[in-house]
Each structure stands twice: as C-alpha cells, then as structure tokens.
Amino acid sequence: MSEDVQGQATDEASESSGSSEATIAVHWREEGYIPPPPKFIGQANASDPAILDRFAEENFPECFREYADLLHWDEYWHTTLDTSDPPFWKWFAGGKLNASYNCVDRHLAGDRNKAALIWVPEPEDEADAVITYQELYRRVNEFAAVLQDLGVQAGDRVTLHMPMVPELPVTMLACARLGVVHSQVFAGFSGGACGGRIADSGSKILITMDGYYRSGDLLDHKVKADEAVEAARKEGQEVDKVLVWRRFPGQYSAKTPMVEGRDVFVDDLLADHRGAVVEPVSMPAEAPLFLMYTSGTTGRPKGCQHSTGGYLSYVAGTSKFYQDIHPDDTYWCMADIGWITGHSYIVYGPLALGTTTVLYEGTPNYPDAGRPWRVAERLGVNIFHTSPTAIRMLRKVGPDEPAKYDYHFKAMTTVGEPIEPEVYRWYFSTVGKGEAIITDTWWQTETGGFIGTGLPGLFPMKPGSCGPAALGIYLDILDENGDSIPKGSGKAGNIVSRAPWPGVFQTIWGQPERFVSTYFEKYNKDKNSTDWHDWPYFAGDGAVQSEDGYFRILGRVDDVINVAGHRLGTKELESSALSVEEVAEAAAVPVVDDVRGRVVEMYIALKPGNEASAEIEGKVKTAIETDIGKIARPKNIWIVPDMPKTRSGKIMRRVIASVSNFTDVGDITTLANPEVVDKIRDQVQSAKRAKGEEPRELSETEEHEIKTYGEQE
Ligand code: WTA
C-alpha cells in the first residue's frame, strides 16, 4: 500500500482564492503509510473489519447501542436518538444511569483491589499514591456525603479549580454520584477566569486545593480562590462555601488565610463522614454531567454542557476501540484533567472500562527530560497519550532520553494540534521504539470524544493526517456555499459532521441561541426540520481530505489561537489588554513556534498623550495574567504608532500577523494608512532580530493561515 502513496504529491492548485473563501489551495506532500505492527493487531479490541459495517451509515443511529452497552443502565432507553427538538439532540432517551456507579461501583465485584488511579506526585522522592477501586469507592462516597451535607442536589452546579491530584477525580465522581454538575476550571487559569466561570454557571460552591507542585515549586493555589470569589461577586454570584483540599492533609501549604465561615478544609469535613455510603442517584441519560468552558469568537467563554448517558457511552466506546484499552492495561494520558482530554481520557473513559489510569502532578520535563520515561518504566505503562507540544518539547530537551529506559508502549495517542511529520517520526521511532501504533485524534471540547481518527488495528498510520472519520461519524468538507468538496481534490474547506453522535455537547450553558448560531446556523438547510440530515455540525476547523479518505486538519477558521494545544480566544486576550487605561486598540495574532505550535503576539496602540513604555507593556501582561492566566501571556507585546486599518476602521490582522512571522504582508492597497506598515515592520522585525528571533520558514499551510488571519470575520 505504501508504494501507492509514498512521495506522491497532490498539488493541483485550486484556481483560488479570495481570502474570505474557505476554499483554499492546499499543496502538500502525502506522507507514506506506516502499517500497525502485527503484534498490536493480534490483541486489538477492533481487529475485525466487520466493525466498520456495523457502524456504516445505514445502521445509524442504532450502531451506537454497541457503545451504550458498555455501561450499566438502571433503566434501558426507549429511543436511541430523539431528534424532536433540533439541534438539541437527545441520545438514549428514556434511559437512566449513574456515571459514578459506572466508573467505580460496578468494578468492585471483580476488581476490588486493582489500581484504579496511580498518582505520581511531581517531587520524585514522594511516593506514588495507588488508589484501588475499593479505595476510590470509599473516597468518592465519603466526599459525596460531605457535599450532601452541604445541601448540594442533583442539577446544581459546583465549580472545581483543582490541580492534577487524585482528589480531583474523587471530587468529579462524587458530584456525578449525586447528579451534581461539575465545572472544573484548569488550575493554571487565574482566579479571575475561574470567577467568571463560577458566575456563568451559577455555582455557590467552589472546590479547590491549598497548593500543588509545578516545576519544583509548591504553589499557593488558595490565593486564586479568594480572587475567584471576588470576581464572581462582581458578576452578581455569591459563593457560600470554599472547600479546600490539602495537598498534605492536616498541614496547610498556602500562605493565604482561610476566610472564617466561608472556607473549610475538606479533610476536617471528611472526619465526620468516615465510612459513609451514598446511594448513586439514577439520572436520566440526557441529564448534564459537567460543563467545560472553552474560548470562542467573543470575549465570553462558552460553557459546553455534556450529557450523562451519551457522553459516557461515547468516551467508553472510543477509549475501548481507539485507545485500545483493555482492563489489564496501564494507561497514562499526560494531559491535564482541567481540559476536555483529561475528562474524557483520564477519568471517565478509562474508569468506565475499569482499567488503571495514571495521573501525574507536574511538568513533563521536571526535574529532567527523562521523567516521563522513568514513570513509564517504573509503572509498566503500556498506553501513552499526549500532545504534539509535549512531544516537541521532550524531543528538543532530551532527544536521546527514551532509549535509556526500559518501557514498552503498544499504543500512543496524539491530540490537540496538527503534528508535523518529523515530530511524528520521532514519536514513533524514539518514544514508541517502533513498536507502538500512533493514533492521531482530532476532536474538540464540544465533541466530547474523538471524531476524526482511524481504528489503530485496521487503518495504517499516515503522519500529519488524523485519519478517516471515527466509527459512526460521517465527516464532510464543505465550501462556503455548503457544497461538498470532493476528496482528493486538494482543496480545503470547513470540516463538518453530517450527523449527531452521542458525545456531542448538548448546548452552551445558558446560551442556547449561541449554541445554534455558532455550530449549526452556517449550514442548516431548514430551521424547522427535525431530520438530522439538515443540521450539519460546523466544527470551526479548516481541513482537506485526500483520496484515501484521510483528513488533514489545517486549524481554526475563527478567532481562536491554538497555543500548545490550548484554545485561546483572541477577543478574550484583546479585551483584557483594553482594560489597561492607556490602551486604545489591541490586536492579538498567532506566531508559528517550534515547540508550542503557535504563540500569541499582541499589538497595542495607545490613547493620545501616552508614550510607549516598558511600564505599559507590563500592565498589559499583568492584565492578561490576571484575567486569563499565565498560559495566555503573549510572547511579545508591540506598542505601535498606529494599527493598519481598512477605510472602514477594521484592524487588518493579517498584515500584522505577517510582520510578526516575517512573511510577505500581501496586498495593502485597501488600507487607509498603508504607510504605517513599513514603520511597524522596521520596529517589530528589528526588535525580534535583536532578541535572536530569526525568520523561520513556514510550511504552505502555516503561511496560508498567517496571510489570511482574521479575514473570516
Ligand atoms: C485542534 C482538544 C489537528 C483543532 C481535544 C480543534 C487538532 C481544537 C487535533 C480543539 C488534531 C484538536 N489535529 N488539530 N489531532 N485535535 N485539534 O477544544 O483546531 O481544546 O478545533 O479540544 O484543537 O481544541 P480543544
């Protein structure tokens, strides 16, 4: 098979291309296929091609019974897919189940003393915590009793702002046991960002931790709780209780004082509930399980609401077939539970299948680049899951480290960003030692689980492509008119999912109109239709499909910059910069980066009467760190004399993005102030050179992204 494709170029240029069109010319070299190792196929959960027939379109939606049947249902559903209120699909309608029961209780009978979670603390001399299913059951029940005691009930929302500690899955599962909707905010986000999410979700309780280790430091995390409560109050939401887990129970690791009457140590509360057992609440399949906030085109993050039955079925099914999780595997996903990847593929998917899932507290290269491989060796990890950014970083700092450790993976996953072929090859040969398959998985916070990826035992790998559509998913690429772009044409467009699937989010919390307008309006054929064929899901990514049906994801078509696999909304960054009083205008643009995929650079124009200064730059940096968090800190802030603008006053982001990436600025004749471009270029590029930031050659798709950046608005 590889001869057919190896080295063959599909570069028929499209006639192309007004920059506002989604149909762009994409030239790219097809990479060769890599077949799955026979040893893998022999043991794979999906090795018989008959599975493809079972999930063929004529069997939709009933095919998804196979996923739902991986769970225990208190009451079986009567309607697999209810489309009566489009596009608010209801999966497994009439069914009842409890997610905590499915992830914990039902494994006790056969696997009571098997490790459910193995937690690896960042300090290497601190012992792992091995939590068996029995121990997890005990802890989840006791914490559920604490929550019950505080009067929390099914349907209430509770915000979690917790680091990578076993108390986080315990808290999530305790919420799920009661039917309480958890909303976990990534610990690296600021208190302010957490407060906004508390207010949006209407949470009265915040659950946090005093501190955690990150790159060798024990951080004071509790301070963010005070900021979060304050920020929520400003938006009209009072937090009654802040529950503080302690990194070392009995000993307080933060300097920030506890607030009398509001803040309580969880270990103190647990003392009153030793041995408590709380009946799991049987929830309707469509009851929300959790909210996960993500960035979009406006300044306000969207609370993606995921269901209990559909979501849990989908992550269990995809964990089984795509992660190839068997009950006796030791599975390690190095993502953070604060993102959707951690929810689906550290907690819910692996635990629903009753496997052992590893959690790591700290940074991958602490104290050195051999750390992940030592963990893998010591624990006998055989399935490994991470992002291209982590792989690029580990390759850069320790290209020869994996060979020094005796571990053997059968399967590896990549997620979150496109992975460059040369990074893929290092992942395959050096990390995987040529023994492990790589599953490239394309999906989103909204999709709940993988939707673009190949079954690892049945499809060969192709570096740079995520693969075909996942089982039961029918992907298509549409142009701006909604016409399907044929595969193999070399033309890119907007990737859509033609049909619903059980993992798709149910709505944006509190903003159902935004749910419809962002994801369905663009390609909806008839607003009143209850036929799902009329409601393709618009994912917001550009993509091309090659002749063999594999998709290659080109990145976001909206105002989102994917930094190290994390979505940052440019409007969020810009409105934060605009909160600095001297700032008149702000524009955030992506810059291609060897390690983090993209980084953000911020352009600022000042109000009259202000001079550019390091102080103003510092204020912008602080505003972003306070409003969003350190992960959003721009690589550079450029205070420029004026922004390049069209005559109607719109900032031309593609021009400054091109300057920042040392690429040609293209046509600037439509600018009202073309003379400013040379000034900005001189200022920015000479400052970059002085810092050692040299021009970098861009791939064609990168160049396209930069040169058309912001043109879709
Ligand atoms: C991008 C992360 C290329 C894409 C699970 C998507 C990818 C956004 C891939 C979602 C992949 C995700 N190849 N690009 N395998 N996976 N993306 O919501 O742009 O944090 O829309 O979910 O990441 O990011 P999110």
Confirm if 407 and 377 have CB atoms less than 8 A apart.
yes
- Token pair of 194 as six digits: 């957490």
- Token pair of 472 as six digits: 């039961």
Looking at residue 300, what is its pLDDT? 83
CA dist 139 and 170 (Å) reads 7
CA dist 557 and 540 (Å) reads 6
Find the 440 Cα to ligand 1 centroid distance in Å: 11
- Token pair of 304 as six digits: 């993606």
- Give, using CA atoms, the residue closest to atom 7 of ligand 1: 417
CA dist 387 and 314 (Å) reads 21
Residue 412 contacts by C-beta under 8 Å, 6 or more apart in sequence?
A: 383, 384, 385, 386, 427, 431, 432, 436, 437, 438, 439
Find the 615 Cα to ligand 1 centroid distance in Å: 36
Atom nearest to 560 CA in ligand 1: 19
- List ligand 1's pocket residues with C-beta within 6 A: 294, 339-341, 415-418, 440-445, 466, 540-541, 553, 555-556, 562, 567
- Give, using CA atoms, the residue closest to atom 8 of ligand 1: 444
Phi-psi region at 386: left, alpha or beta (left = phi > 0; alpha = psi -120 to 50):
beta
- Give, using CA atoms, the residue closest to atom 13 of ligand 1: 418
Atom nearest to 445 CA in ligand 1: 18
Atom nearest to 341 CA in ligand 1: 5
Find the 323 Cα to ligand 1 centroid distance in Å: 17
CA dist 674 and 654 (Å) reads 13
How many CB atoms sit inside 10 A of residue 110's CB? Answer: 10
pLDDT along the chain (713 residues), means of 10: 30 31 46 90 96 98 98 98 98 98 98 98 98 98 98 98 98 99 97 97 98 98 98 98 97 98 98 97 98 85 97 98 97 97 98 98 97 98 97 96 98 94 94 97 98 97 95 97 95 96 98 97 96 97 95 89 89 93 96 93 96 97 95 95 91 95 93 95 96 89 88 64
- Give, using CA atoms, the residue closest to atom 4 of ligand 1: 555
Atom nearest to 466 CA in ligand 1: 15
Alpha helix segments (H runs only) across 540-661: 570-578, 614-627, 653-660
CA dist 23 and 253 (Å) reads 54
Rg (CA), the chain: 25
Amino acid letter, residue 185: V
- Token pair of 233 as six digits: 């109050």
- Give, using CA atoms, the residue closest to atom 15 of ligand 1: 442
Find the 322 Cα to ligand 1 centroid distance in Å: 16
Atom nearest to 567 CA in ligand 1: 20
Confirm if 413 and 333 have CB atoms less than 8 A apart.
yes
pLDDT tens readout for residues 444-463 = 999 999 999 999 999 999 99
CA dist 570 and 568 (Å) reads 6
Beta strand 79-82 with 28-29 is: unpaired
pLDDT tens readout for residues 326-371 = 999 999 999 999 999 999 999 999 999 999 999 999 999 999 999 9
Residue 238 contacts by C-beta under 8 Å, 6 or more apart in sequence?
A: 204, 232
- Give, using CA atoms, the residue closest to atom 6 of ligand 1: 444
- Three-state secondary structure string covering 283-322: EECCCEEEEEEECCCCCCCEEEEEECHHHHHHHHHHHHHC
- Give, using CA atoms, the residue closest to atom 11 of ligand 1: 442
Find the 444 Cα to ligand 1 centroid distance in Å: 5
Name the residue of 419, 553, 560, 712 to mutate for ligand 1: max ligand atoms within 8 A of Cβ: 553
Name the residue of 443, 450, 495, 554 to mutate for ligand 1: max ligand atoms within 8 A of Cβ: 443
Find the 266 Cα to ligand 1 centroid distance in Å: 35
Residue 342 contacts by C-beta under 8 Å, 6 or more apart in sequence?
A: 333, 335, 336
Name the residue of 345, 417, 557, 712 to mutate for ligand 1: max ligand atoms within 8 A of Cβ: 417
CA dist 523 and 483 (Å) reads 10
CA dist 197 and 453 (Å) reads 31
DSSP H or E segment with residue 265: strand 263-265
Find the 652 Cα to ligand 1 centroid distance in Å: 26
Q: Which residue has the tokens 């990737």?
A: 495
- Token pair of 161 as six digits: 């702002």
Find the 304 Cα to ligand 1 centroid distance in Å: 15
Atom nearest to 414 CA in ligand 1: 15
- Pick the closest to residue 537 from 481, 478, 491 (CA basis): 478
CA dist 16 and 13 (Å) reads 8
Phi-psi region at 16: left, alpha or beta (left = phi > 0; alpha = psi -120 to 50):
left
CA atoms within 13 A on the CB side of 298: 9
Confirm if 356 and 116 have CB atoms less than 8 A apart.
yes
How many CB atoms sit inside 10 A of residue 266's CB? Answer: 22
Find the 108 Cα to ligand 1 centroid distance in Å: 35
Find the 513 Cα to ligand 1 centroid distance in Å: 24
Residue 310 contacts by C-beta under 8 Å, 6 or more apart in sequence?
A: 91, 92, 285, 286, 448, 502, 503, 504
Please tell me the pTM assigned to this model. Answer: 0.93
What 3-state DSSP class applies to 359?
strand
Atom nearest to 452 CA in ligand 1: 15
Looking at residue 29, what is its pLDDT? 54
- Pick the closest to residue 345 from 416, 295, 409 (CA basis): 416
- Token pair of 293 as six digits: 């906030």
Name the residue of 444, 451, 496 to mutate for ligand 1: max ligand atoms within 8 A of Cβ: 444
CA dist 187 and 363 (Å) reads 13
- Three-state secondary structure string covering 29-82: ECCCCECCCHHHHHHCCCCCCHHHHHCCHHHCCHHHHHHHCCCCCCECCCEEEE
| Residue 701: burial class (beta carbons within 10 Å; 0-12, 13-18, 19+) | buried
| Residue 642: burial class (beta carbons within 10 Å; 0-12, 13-18, 19+) | middle
